[in-house]
Structure 1
Amino acid sequence: MSDLQGRTFVVTGANTGIGKETARGLAGRGARVVIAGRSEDRTRAAMKEIADSTGNTDLDYVPLDLGDLASVRAAAATLLASGEPLHVLINNAGLAGARGMSASGFELAFGTNHVGTFLLTELLRDRIVASGPGRIVNVASTGHFRAKGIDWDAIRQPSVTRTAFDEYCVSKLANVLHAQELGRRLEGTGVTTYSLHPGTIASDVWREVPIGLRQVMKLMMKSPAQGARTSLYCATSPDVATHTGRYYDNRREKTPSKVATPELAAELWTRSEEWVKES
């Protein structure tokens, strides 16, 4: 199971849920895993648990708040300053069910799930290319099928729906579009990109949903370990090594929403570049 020795993986939001199980799966196969997230205490507790269960102590922590672009830049600077290769970035961190604005001035889910992820990926991608072959994996959601498109005005304003689920779905559409356009831009570099639906998982992504509703929802959900399977598949499987920009569900390629067009992906990319310049 040590086929990932010598490979460095960065996993965002991996102190709990799907991310932690993804990190555990990578560590169990000999990878070096850097966990980027907001809580150092929770992350170091997760690292100890992973080390104890896998015997792999090659784990590290980098502070990261995706809703704050200054924090994203600081995290990327820390990762790059190490001088070490970065082979795979798994953009796992996500937020659902919370309303408001991000610190950098975007609707909370969109700013956290897409804008912060876009900037982190851009800041690290040259290192990933230089370390290649590499992969960039976006954990999206089947919820992206619910989004009818992207309202460019709405994503610069506070959440308006009661549960913020519609806003979450738009942010997940953005994750799919980001992987598509990034795959096109990285053609020929040896770095491939993926977006995926992990399944409906009982994880901390739902932490802002009222507790009563959250408990009922979790009765119908899969475990985080089950949810990590498609992330690990996209990040490591030789079966998809030559594929790029595609969407996966249950470790199988699926056709994404008809709204996920190359034209919308290109427009989102252009706007995202402008947003991270001005924020």
Structure 2
Amino acid sequence: MGDLDGKTFLVTGANTGIGKETVRDLAGRGARVVLAGRSEERTLAAIREIAADTGNTALDFLALDLGDLASLRAAATTFLESGERLDVLINNAGLAGKRGMSASGFELAFGTNHVGPFLLTELLRDRIVETGPGRIVNVASTGHYRAKGIDWEAVRRPTVTRTAFDEYCVSKLANVLHARELGRRLEGTGVTTYALHPGAIASDVWREVPFGVRHAMKLFMKSPEQGARTSLYCATSPDVADHTGRYYDDEREKQPSRVVTDALAAELWERSEDWVTAAPRG
């Protein structure tokens, strides 16, 4: 029996990197965890490994493609129809270094890293409120400091920069803004929100970066296990139970970019709501 016995967590991008280490810790503490991701084969392999390590078999796969809003709706329906409680949603999955458009018509990083998690959160948040008290955690990045704002036209077009890093930073800014506005909207419900920088982590988020560059980058990065610490802190620590809408780094609250304002957070919310409402339902 662990300190999270009886709690249910849903973690996206949970079959590798930070997500996998987050699940390993939660499972070791007795939580039931739903691992959401695209690859059933890789996720089931991760489940077998974590179950063997922890002795916890309360682990399930949920098919989910964050770049495809129809997939998100189907995943949320599957989860909600199960009747499961949901104590904590960890929007962990992310993509960096790949150019293009998402299946739902957004710049690839923005669509995968923000629009998808925004819709998933909206579809599941009533269940979190019903279960409550609960938490919603967005894994962002210190890269959000680099973004000067959000070009509303650019996020609806294919990636422009060669490395796709500028677009990645904008998507991470959106993660911080989303947590801020969501926290405001959920005040009084018992559900709190968090955005965080996990550190520069040698994980699969960099899988689209050319091999030589990726190998050099990873020499200076933290391990996924180290990277999961701030996610776990925001998701489970009693120290931040009464905090909401804030940004964390290295298990400490930190001031986000000056671009993170209530006005921009509200505008992003309104536009995101319009985008996901207008998108075909498939």
TM-score scaled by structure 2? 0.99
Q: Deviations over 1:148-204 (max 9, x none)?
A: 000000000000000100000000000000000000000000000000000000000
Deviation at 1:278, TM superposition (A): 1.1
Cα distance in 2, alignment partners of residues 93 and 199 from structure 1: 15
Cα distance in 2, alignment partners of residues 98 and 187 from structure 1: 36
1:172-187 equivalences under 5 Å are: 172-187=172-187
Equivalent AA in structure 1 for residue 137 of structure 2: V
Q: Deviations over 1:40-62 (max 9, x none)?
A: 00000000111011110000000
Cα distance in 1, alignment partners of residues 25 and 77 from structure 2: 26
Cα distance in 2, alignment partners of residues 42 and 206 from structure 1: 17
2:56 is paired with a residue whose SS is coil
Deviation at 1:84, TM superposition (A): 1.2
Runs of 4 or more consecutive aligned structure 1 residues displaced over 4 Å after TM superposition:
none
1:2 is paired with a residue whose SS is coil
1:192 aligns with 2:192: yes
Cα distance in 1, alignment partners of residues 228 and 79 from structure 2: 24
1:193-272 equivalences under 5 Å are: 193-272=193-272
- Seq. identity, %: 81
**Match for residue 146 of structure 1?**
146
| Structure 1, unpaired ranges of 5+ | none
**Match for residue 104 of structure 1?**
104
Deviation at 1:13, TM superposition (A): 0.3
**Match for residue 71 of structure 1?**
71
2:230 is paired with a residue whose SS is helix
**Match for residue 132 of structure 2?**
132
1:161 is paired with a residue whose SS is coil
**Match for residue 46 of structure 1?**
46
**Match for residue 4 of structure 1?**
4
TM-score scaled by structure 1? 1.00
2:96 is paired with a residue whose SS is coil
Cα distance in 1, alignment partners of residues 140 and 128 from structure 2: 21
2:258 is paired with a residue whose SS is coil
1:195 is paired with a residue whose SS is strand
Equivalent AA in structure 2 for residue 182 of structure 1: L
Cα distance in 1, alignment partners of residues 134 and 48 from structure 2: 27
**Match for residue 37 of structure 1?**
37
Equivalent AA in structure 1 for residue 112 of structure 2: T
Aligned residues: 279
Q: Deviations over 1:20-59 (max 9, x none)?
A: 0000010000000000000000000000111011110000
